[in-house]
Amino acid sequence: MSAVIWNLLSFIVALGVLITVHEFGHFWVARKNGVLVKRFSIGFGKALVSWRDKQGTEFVIAAIPLGGYVRMLDERVDPVLPQFKDLAFNHKTVWQRMAIIAAGPVANFIFAVFALWLMYLLGVQTMRPVIADVTPGSIAAVAGMPAQQQIISVNQHQATDASSVNLLLVEQIGSSSITLGLQDMQTQRQTTIVLNTADWQFDPEAQTVFDSLGLNLARPKALTEVAHIAAGSAAEQAGLLVHDKILRIDGTAISSWTQLQDVISNAAEQPLLFDIERDGRQVTLSATPKLIVNDDGFSQGVLGVTPKVSDWPPGVLYTQKYGAVDAVAAGISHTWQFTRLSFSMIAKLVMGDVSVKHLSGPIAIAQGAGTTASMGLVAFLSFLALISVNLGVINLLPLPVLDGGHLMYMLVELIRGKPVSEKTQEVGFRFGALVLLMLMGIALLNDISRL
């Protein structure tokens, strides 16, 4: 199955689950408050499958799986017979209507807790945020960050794994400083260090948040030993073999794979002398890296070899797995972290700390769905939880076309004692739709530019 088809199917499954959860929240609370639900639709357009329950609600799975809706009896939309007025949405109290509207986003948050609960129940392999070393001249180096330290907190927020620390650091974008809680891997002694981030530059498309601060996590390293040679490559033509260890290039000692890559990249179509170790003896070969042009239009040399990778450092990789009760607490904590980060990113977007070029749309979500689905159920559950939280947060924004906009109007009604005029609501809906379409357009363009 091609990657595109797999991503599309994974996207449809993910979106279908999350939309169903969201709309079911509206549906369930509407019914509990005595509102007649006329239609519960997953998707838009032509109905592919439909059926009715005993209470007259039509359930529909439609052709365009990009959303859904719950259509309730409402005098503002349909003529309602006098005997059925008590079943109409607009005849319910403000508090009842607010509960019905808020139920969609709340259902998304509850689902995120459930997905993460199941993930922790099954067990998720993760890594401790251990700093192996720091990049010279980086923010971490200037602060005097010592090596072999595990990050245990970010600005007083506790964290046990690299993923949580990553989210907490991203949340600090725009801050002038970051306080890290550290624990020495050898002595277990705990200290704190303050990073000066006034001039912090972070491009999420080009680097990780750890790299941007100069924090190099303990993880398997690429060695200078050859693990694979591409057919027809410059390495094959030169006679390099698997298990060869590259010692020197043109007399310069090679101590890391990164150094080797830099030399090769800058020597396209230039013959190089390789001193290698093979079966306990030293051999010298000549290889000429081939010239290629990457996606950005830059020319570079390629040798056609893949490095052997070292084992994980001891104590870094571990499995987070909890019992049924503890998994609930972990799910709630992780969901709250996702929620806090989502609201924080929206605020930073408005304040200009985060550029709109980093917005992602349906293509990026489809790619994420496909990638995590390929990694297994546990990774896919984590992805569903993150997107579910984002869906809940976005729907709570005070844009009139979203649930948050409806709640805003109802809050005004609660304060004033009378509904917001239809004309004001209509103007608000048009403005909200324009803003939403603009943001969706920017996100889609960003997605296309990354292809």
223-240 tens-digit pLDDT: 999 999 999 898 999 999
Cα separation, 17 vs 249, in Å, equals 54
Cα 38 from chain centre: 35
- pLDDT at residue 308, rounded to an integer: 93
Residue 110's pLDDT band (cuts 50, 70, 90): very high
Burial of 253 (0-12, 13-18, 19+ CB in 10 A): exposed
Q: Which CATH superfamily is domain 222-309 in?
A: PDZ domain (2.30.42.10)
**The amino acid at 131:** I
- Dist. CA 98–CA 404, nearest whole Å: 10
Domain range annotation of the chain: 110-123+322-451, 125-220+311-320, 222-309
Q: In 204-346, which ranges are E strands?
A: 215-217, 222-229, 245-249, 252-253, 272-278, 281-287, 290-293, 299-302, 305-309, 317-320
Q: Tens digits of per-residue pLDDT, 400-410? A: 888 998 899 99
In sequence order, what are the beta bridge partners of 281?
A: 278
The confidence score (pLDDT) of residue 84 equals: 84
Average pLDDT over residues 183-201: 90
Residue with the bigger pLDDT between 120 and 5: it is: 120
The tens digit of pLDDT for each residue in 158-170 reads 888 888 898 898 8
Q: What is the pLDDT of residues 311-333, one digit of tens each?
A: 888 888 989 999 999 999 999 99
Q: Give yes or no for a contact between 11 and 365, defined as CB atoms under 8 angstroms apart.
A: yes
Euclidean distance between CA atoms 403 and 34, whole angstroms: 20
For the question of residue 23 being annotated catalytic, the response is: yes
Which residues are registered as beta bridge partners of 249? Answer: 252, 274
The domains spanning 125-220+311-320 and 222-309 adopt the same CATH topology: yes
Q: How far apart are CA 18 and CA 28, in angstroms?
A: 15
Q: What is the pLDDT confidence band of residue 451, given thresholds at 50, 70 and 90?
A: low
Of all residues in the chain, the percent with pLDDT exceeding 70 is 96
Helix, strand, coil percentages for the chain (3-state, nearest 5): 45, 25, 30
Q: CB of 89 within 8 A of CB of 100?
A: yes
Q: Please state whether the predicted TM-score (pTM) of the whole model is above 0.85.
A: no
**pLDDT at site 281:** 92
Q: Give residue 373's pLDDT.
A: 78
Burial 261-284, CB ≥16 within 10 A → b, else e = bebbbebbeeebebbbeeeeeeee
- Is the domain covering 125-220+311-320 a CATH 3.40.50.2000 domain? no
Question: Which residue shows structure tokens 């546990």?
Answer: 378
Which whole number is the average pLDDT over 413-421?
86
By C-alpha distance, which of 111, 140, 18, 29 is closest to 68? Answer: 18
At residue 138, the pLDDT reads 92
The tokens describing 32, both together, are 């509990």
Give me the pLDDT at residue 358, please: 65
